[in-house]
Structure 1
Amino acid sequence: MIDPLAEVVALLRPGAPFSKLVIASAPWAVRRTETGRPFYFVLLQGSCRLRIDSATRSDTITLNEGDFALIPSARAFATSSLDRQPPAHDEVVDTAITPMPGGARVGDPDGPVDTRMLVGNCVFGSPDAALLVSLLPDWVHVRGEDRLSTLVQLVGDESRSDRPAREIVMAHLLEVLLIEALRSTASASTSSSLMRGLSDPRLALALRLMHQRPSESWTVAQLARESAMSRSAFFERFSEAVGMAPIEYLLAWRMALAKQLLRQGGTAMSDIAERVGYSSVSTFGVAFTRHVGMPPGRYAKQGIEAAAA
């Protein structure tokens, strides 16, 4: 069976080329505003609190040594030592931040260091990142995963070293760490997401079928039958877990696949239409234009020109 999360991660093309080391001495607090870019934290030593603010709610979690946290679309967040709560958006923060090679020193520059973390922005190489990120949780917090713990240890060792090609090794380690975190569903947030849908065995079956056979003319009734649920129960459960209705999800995935095929080139428009569930080029063109805002031919031409530039 096809793994939907693996397909989403593959299309996202995640990377982590930007990182800095932050060392801190309690008490401290830092607040940051982002523009929707993905942001990650790797706790190398000690503990801290992380507050994540979204449009509708705020969540505060505790990060301990060996933990990994990812905010796929960061807008505003704050971190602090354990002896205080992370500052709210309107709270004045007076913690000293001292630049240092490769990062920053937070808190009393002469105080004992009790927290070390690697933080930074990720990049998603896909032009469809906004669509694909909408399928991920508001945040991911991974703890107690042996594979991730090993990766965190390797990242920590490399960050403290001065070996040749250090930056290249760090970038690749962080990419693997990012992918491991995205595919780890056990500690994922409870916000609506593909990961939450995949954690439900019945919904997971429907999701895998849509990814395995996107060309099929799926209906809510058929997917509900495959999931051994009533139509209304399936629709409600899927929408609540994934964050969009079943056929809306199917359309979004078909369009993501179509965009990928158009960007790659070399595939006839009729074949692309058939592979994503449309009986003719014209019906595919209408659906694609409505969803993307331009005809598939123009989209493909722009992709070729961008690749050649």
Structure 2
Amino acid sequence: MIDPLAEVVTLLQPGARFSKLVFGASPWRISRSDAGQPFYCVVLEGGCRMAIDSHDPFEVLSGDFVLIPAAYGVAMSSLEVPPPGVEMPAPTPLGNNEFRIGAADNPIDSRMMVGHCSFGSPDAALLVSLLPQYVHVRGEHRLATLVQLVREESREQRPAREVVLSRLLEVLLIEALRSAAGTNASPGLVRGLADGRLAAAIRGMHEHPTRAWTVAQLAKEAALSRSTFFERFSRAVGVAPMEYLLGWRMALAKDLLRRNEGRVAEIAQRVGYSSASTFSVAFTRHVGRPPAQYAREQQAVLSGE
């Protein structure tokens, strides 16, 4: 059976690029702006409050994992929120990618590992649009085990410590994305797959992207009325069913074009278009340039020109 989330994650090529260990001494507050970079936070001890872009703040406690596939604004504070208007000291570097936040004379009451992961796919922005805006995982045994390994590894100065941490964080990232049913996720693929009815329709789109799907046919896959399916899908996934299908077809097309897997007409058929011209119009509108031009540019990048 096709696994839609596995397909998206595989195309994304996730990895752990940078991490730092942060020691918090309450009260503290810090904010950062990222130009759409993937951001994650693992709480090893204690907890914090986090606000992502325009979302309401929420608590992140020991053992929790938060993944933001495309972060633009992240504000974090201690669970004991500092009074408004009080200036907070800048983070103090301790060496070895370790930092302390909060007053120097206050006891440390939280430990977090935060950082950026990377998505190796040149089409990351398109694929990220299929994912939730953020994933907050709590109470997952497998993730708790991985967090415990990260906690232990971060405390020890063992040989190859950074390599091991990097690999553990890669697994954490993938595990968080696939922890659908137990995840507090914003609208996106994860929430769609957590709904058994919607999951059937999503799997259908991934298994048969060439099928001339209609909303009525997808509703039938989900065993729902057309109107109920459309409303439920849009609310859970964050986009309308046909918009999701278009995004997935374009992701597949870009991957095929980048790998030079056939002529434009052949790729058009493989992603559900009856003619090269119809596909070219849709691709150009969605990607911003014709498929042939996109393929040439990607081949030039791969060959180092």
| TM-score w.r.t. length of structure 1 | 0.92
Distance 1:210 1:85, change over 3 A: farther
4+ residue runs of structure 1 moved beyond 4 angstroms?
none
Name the SS for the 2:295 alignment partner. helix
Distance 1:52 1:266, change over 3 A: closer
Residue in 2 aligned with 1:68?
A: 65
Residue in 2 aligned with 1:20?
A: 20
1: CA distance, partners of 2:106 / 2:221: 60
Residue in 1 aligned with 2:275?
A: 280
Greater CA deviation, 37-46 or 70-79?
Answer: 70-79
Q: Which of 233, 237, 242 matches 1:238? A: 233
Deviation at 1:298, TM superposition (A): 1.1
Partner amino acid for 1:143?
A: R
Partner amino acid for 2:88?
A: D
1: CA distance, partners of 2:161 / 2:192: 38
Distance 1:288 1:197, change over 3 A: same
Residue in 2 aligned with 1:35?
A: 35
Residue in 2 aligned with 1:117?
A: 112
Greater CA deviation, 159-168 or 34-43?
Answer: 159-168
Residue in 2 aligned with 1:213?
A: 208
Name the SS for the 1:189 alignment partner. strand
Q: Which of 73, 76, 81 matches 2:78? A: 81
Greater CA deviation, 177-186 or 191-200?
Answer: 191-200
Question: Is the contact made by 2:50 and 2:76 (CA closer than 8 Å) also made in structure 1?
Answer: yes
Name the SS for the 2:92 alignment partner. strand
Question: Is the contact made by 2:42 and 2:65 (CA closer than 8 Å) also made in structure 1?
Answer: yes
1:157-181 deviations in Å (ceiling 9; x for gaps): 2222222222222111111100100
Question: Is the contact made by 1:43 and 1:118 (CA closer than 8 Å) also made in structure 2?
Answer: yes
Q: Which of 135, 142, 146 matches 2:130? A: 135
Q: How does 1:259-274 map to 2 (within 5 A)?
A: 259-274=254-269
Greater CA deviation, 267-276 or 143-152?
Answer: 267-276
Question: Is the contact made by 2:49 and 2:79 (CA closer than 8 Å) also made in structure 1?
Answer: yes
Greater CA deviation, 164-173 or 295-304?
Answer: 164-173
Residue in 1 aligned with 2:89?
A: 95
2: CA distance, partners of 1:181 / 1:303: 30
1: CA distance, partners of 2:27 / 2:113: 19
2: CA distance, partners of 1:186 / 1:234: 19
2: CA distance, partners of 1:192 / 1:46: 28
2: CA distance, partners of 1:205 / 1:84: 43
Residue in 1 aligned with 2:144?
A: 149
2: CA distance, partners of 1:61 / 1:7: 30
Residue in 2 aligned with 1:46?
A: 46
Name structure 1 gaps, 5 residues minimum.
Answer: none
Distance 1:254 1:266, change over 3 A: closer
Question: Is the contact made by 2:28 and 2:82 (CA closer than 8 Å) also made in structure 1?
Answer: no
Residue in 1 aligned with 2:10?
A: 10
Question: Is the contact made by 2:130 and 2:247 (CA closer than 8 Å) also made in structure 1?
Answer: no
Name structure 2 gaps, 5 residues minimum.
Answer: none
Question: Is the contact made by 1:31 and 1:93 (CA closer than 8 Å) also made in structure 2?
Answer: no
Matched-pair identity in % = 61
1:146-197 deviations in Å (ceiling 9; x for gaps): 1111111111222222222222221111111001001111343353211111
| TM-score w.r.t. length of structure 2 | 0.93
The structure carrying a bigger strand percent of its residues is: 2
Greater CA deviation, 37-46 or 72-81?
Answer: 72-81
